[in-house]
Amino acid sequence: MSKQEYTITIYTENHIGLLTRIATIFSRRKINIESFNTSPSEIESVFRFTIVINTTEEFVKKLCRQIERQVEVLRAYYNTNEEIIWQEMALYKVPTKIIAETVKVERLLREYGAKVVVIRTDFTIFEVTGHREETEKFIKVLEQYNLIEFVRSARIAIIKASEGFHKKLKEFESSEHGEKQFENKFLTSKEKIFTM
């Protein structure tokens, strides 16, 4: 089975120490995390982790099962890049004098989908939102103009076929004794969801 990039989405309760325990699951298995983001979800008091790894489907399936064994984890999903809409955000700091004298800034913004966040006499900060290839392409452009600093955010992702975890949570609460197994309408026809 070949390796590919997977995005794992985990819904959890907000508990101290959970982040460390989830990170430990990856480090024990010697899995390199490409990107890691945590944020509030559409449900109050429920948090959402978005983790990107490169592995096989068999392995990511086992990993999600392991993650779901954590008491505070409500659900863990995994998706290929084709099954999600995802973005990253990057900031670039360049000297204002050089950029103003040597570049048509409007053309630069239009061509690379960038926007100006800050303009000061000593530096200018640009922002690009998109896939990693797009943010990396802009680095190469700005390197010619003495790029001072670069930073990129972790991935954020929305599952294309998702009706939202909120609906799934309501279905679970209304099922008898919480024993119902969810049908995976979020992802593909493959079996990717596990009994809570």
pLDDT in tens, 142-157: 999 999 999 999 999 9
* pTM assigned to the model: 0.79
pLDDT in tens, 88-131: 999 999 999 998 888 788 888 889 999 999 999 999 999 999 99
Question: Packing angle between helix 132-143 and helix 105-112, nearest 10 degrees?
Answer: 160
Tell me what pLDDT residue 169 has: 67
pLDDT in tens, 17-50: 888 999 999 999 999 999 999 999 888 888 999 9
Count the domains in the chain. 2
Is the model's pLDDT at 73 over the cut of 70?
yes
Q: Same domain, yes or no, for 70 and 19? A: yes
Q: Same domain, yes or no, for 120 and 139? A: yes
Q: Which residue has the higher pLDDT, 163 or 93?
A: 93
Amino acid at position 32, single letter: N
Domain enclosing residue 108, as ranges = 86-152
Of 152, 167, 190, the last residue of a domain is: 152
- In a domain, residue 191? The reply is no
Q: Same domain, yes or no, for 11 and 42? A: yes
Q: Same domain, yes or no, for 122 and 36? A: no
- In a domain, residue 183? The reply is no
Q: Same domain, yes or no, for 116 and 163? A: no
Tell me what pLDDT residue 116 has: 93
Is residue 128 within 8 A of residue 112, CB to CB? The reply is yes
CATH number of the domain enclosing 120? 3.30.70.1150
- In a domain, residue 42? The reply is yes
- In a domain, residue 184? The reply is no
Q: Same domain, yes or no, for 14 and 70? A: yes
Distance CA 52, CA 117 (A): 27
**Positive/negative CA dihedral, 21, 156, 76, 42:** positive
CATH number of the domain enclosing 26? 3.30.70.260
Q: Same domain, yes or no, for 96 and 129? A: yes
Tell me what pLDDT residue 42 has: 85
